[in-house]
Amino acid sequence: MEGKINFSFGIITSPDSKNDINLIINSIRKQNIPNYEIIIVGSIKNDFGNDIKVIDFDESIKPGWITKKKNIITSLSNYENIVYLHDYVYLDDDWYKGYLKFGNEFEVAMNKILNLDNSRYHDWILWKENNSSFDNYLLQKKQYLLPYYIRFLTKYMYISGTYWVAKKEFMTKFPLNESLGWGESEDVVWSKSIRDKIEFKLNTYSTVKFSKQKNIKWSIMKFKTLIYVLFKIYVKK
């Protein structure tokens, strides 16, 4: 239903970032979303325009405190849906049209994430559990990119902290753990705390892209490996 989905976009950044935030802002503005806002959390000068809210952040309190920044975005957002972005993630031209097609029935949603070279990045991810029999299912690898057609394993997945979409009400009830910061698997910890409560949803109609190349690449799970995993989960419990 066109014009019925509203978004708050929350961008986290830092003074030493060399990424082009204007690229993200322009990618949002060109979507022609009827009702939206852009919130930037980080110690940067606000020269982006009157429609941008910049929240100054004292980086010296705890370097890499991205969980605090994202929880600030949650608290300040005025719309039902919040889009969390690191400052190198921008929207594809048809991102909003994709969400209109996908709909608004989700608590936490992921969509396609493409690296600078157009390869898949960490979007629809199966995560290995430590100290459990599930370790053996994944053939010694810690994580896999799942094929997009697999939608029923979300209790074994995690949502990448690089980018995701969620309801403000849900994020207010289940905020990120502020004792964790950059590089401390805050996204994995949060995902594991909520994935038994809801089912993550995947919107393949919308895409976001990186403005720089991220070189950590994971394998897309092969069909025979997927069958093995499903057998172990559903038959060998």
User: What are the pLDDT digits (tens) for 37-95?
Assistant: 999 999 887 778 878 999 999 888 888 899 999 999 999 999 999 999 999 999 999 99
Among 13, 42, 224, 218, which Cα is nearest to 124's?
Answer: 218
Look at residue 54 and give its three-state secondary structure: strand
What pLDDT score does 217 carry?
Answer: 60
DSSP string, 68-126: HHHHHHHHH--SSEEEEEETTEEE-TTHHHHHHHH-S--SEEEEEEE-TTS-B-SSSEE
Report how far residue 2's alpha carbon sits from residue 138's, in angstroms, rounded to the nearest whole number: 41
Highest mean pLDDT among 60-69, 116-125, 197-206 belongs to 197-206
Relative to beta strand 81-86, strand 89-91 is unpaired
Go through 173-210 and write b for each residue having 16 or more CB atoms within 10 A of its CB, e for each that does not: ebebeeebbeeeebbbbbbbebbeebebbbbebbbbbb
Whole-number average pLDDT of the chain: 85
**Res. 153 pLDDT band, cuts 50 70 90:** confident
pLDDT confidence of residue 127: 73
Confidence of residue 19 (pLDDT cuts 50, 70, 90): confident
Whole-number pLDDT of residue 76: 97
β-pairing verdict for 36-41 and 201-210: unpaired
Full-model pTM: 0.86
Identify the DSSP state of 219: P
What is the band of 211 on the pLDDT scale with cuts at 50, 70, 90? confident
Confidence of residue 172 (pLDDT cuts 50, 70, 90): very high
User: Residue range 159-171: average pLDDT?
Assistant: 96
- The pLDDT of residue 224: 53
Alpha-carbon span 146 to 219, nearest angstrom: 9
Judge contact between 113 and 84, C-beta under 8 A: no
> Is there a contact between 88 and 115 (Cβ–Cβ < 8 Å)?
no
Q: Report the pLDDT averaged over residues 206-212.
A: 93
What domains can you pick out in the chain, each with its CATH number? 7-113+161-215 (3.90.550.10)
Tokens 């806002």 correspond to 37
